[in-house]
């Protein structure tokens, strides 16, 4: 009978034979990556270096990003200030509940879902793909949206301490529903045919109101501006038309007086040759 030592030696010899016959079976070197695996590894490496490499290939410009995936996300989250302009972000997933500044101009965001709830500083979503502000922050000190195809103001913060700007040729508003009730300065397109009757009941208190006038609109019924609590200045963005600037100056002379100045303003407008302005 063979001893245990002899049996163990025979077993080891058998294993050595198997290893010699098929060395690849126990090769310590990892297998060569496939072309797809190589491409994915390169993609991950280049994506991780995206924000630090100014000379990176423009091929990456078609990539879609989620906010939480940005390489500097942790730094932004720690500081409370989020600046990610021109990063091809399509989703705000990963936004904190409260932030200071949240500026993401020139991205590809089409919805404010998963964005911050409260912005104590500036919220700037200019030049994205937004059509409304649904799911946007409930509060912001400054709110800017330029060159978004906005069709509705619903979802806007109810109160904005400073500026609230929704401007640009792509804005197509049909009403002011959703516009902040309280703001320092509001700049929006003048909707409709130019009558300021559309302002009735829109605001709680606004200090400055800047209306962007488009070709074909005829400004009239301007005395409705006197119904806005706290309004001290009304401006019309329509180029440097001397007639409009003259009538605007008359309105702003009496506007700080509130409703008490309405009749005086009406008289001055009619006398200066602006009867359409001097109506409610």
In tens, the pLDDT along 232-243 reads 999 999 888 899
CB 12 within 8 A of CB 19: no
How many CA atoms does the CB half-sphere of 22 hold within 13 Å? 5
> What is the pLDDT, as a whole number, of residue 92?
96
Nearest to 247 by CA among 227, 213, 273, 225: 273
> What is the pLDDT, as a whole number, of residue 209?
97
Q: Which residues of the chain have pLDDT under 50?
A: 26, 51, 54-58
How many CA atoms does the CB half-sphere of 162 hold within 13 Å? 12
> What is the pLDDT, as a whole number, of residue 161?
94
DSSP annotation string for the chain: ---HHHHHHHHHHHHHHHHHHTGGGG-SSPPPPPHHHHHHHHHHHHHHTGGG-TT--GGGGG--EEGGGSTTHHHHHHHT-EE-TTS-EEE-TT--SEES-EE--SS-----TT--SEEEEEEE--SS--S--TT--SEEEEEEEES------TT--SEEEEEEEEESTT---S--TT--SEEEEEEEE--TTSBGGGGTT--SEEEEEEEEPPTT---B-GGGGGGSTT--EEEEESS--HHHHHHHHHHHHHGGGGGGGHHHHHHHHHHTT-TTTT--
> What is the pLDDT, as a whole number, of residue 56?
47
> What is the pLDDT, as a whole number, of residue 32?
79
């Amino acid at each position: 009978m063979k001893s245990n030592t002899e049996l163990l030696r025979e077993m080891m010899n058998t294993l050595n034979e198997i290893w010699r016959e098929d060395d690849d079976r126990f090769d310590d070197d990892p297998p060569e990556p496939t072309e797809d695996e190589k491409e994915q590894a390169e993609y991950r490496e280049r994506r991780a270096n995206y924000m630090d490499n100014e000379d990176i290939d423009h091929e990456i410009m078609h990539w879609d990003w989620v906010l939480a995936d940005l390489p500097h996300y942790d730094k932004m989250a720690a500081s409370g200030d989020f600046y990610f302009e021109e990063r091809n972000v399509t989703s705000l997933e990963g936004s904190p509940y409260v932030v200071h500044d949240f500026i993401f101009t020139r991205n590809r965001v089409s919805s404010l879902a998963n964005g911050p709830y409260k912005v104590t500083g500036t919220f700037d979503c200019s030049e994205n793909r937004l059509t409304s502000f649904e799911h946007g922050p409930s509060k912001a000190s400054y709110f800017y949206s330029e060159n978004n195809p906005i069709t509705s103001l619903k979802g806007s913060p109810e109160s904005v301490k400073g500026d609230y700007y929704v401007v640009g040729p792509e804005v197509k508003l049909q009403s002011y529903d959703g516009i902040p009730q309280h703001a320092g300065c509001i700049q929006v397109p003048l909707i409709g045919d130019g009558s300021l009757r559309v302002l009735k009941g829109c605001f709680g208190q606004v200090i400055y109101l800047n209306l962007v006038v488009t070709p074909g609109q005829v400004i009239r019924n301007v005395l409705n501006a006197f119904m806005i609590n706290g309004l001290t200045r009304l401006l019309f963005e329509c180029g440097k038309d001397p007639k409009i600037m003259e009538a605007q100056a008359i309105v702003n002379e009496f506007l700080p007086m509130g409703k008490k100045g309405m009749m005086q303003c009406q008289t001055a407008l009619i006398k200066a040759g602006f009867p359409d302005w001097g109506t409610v």
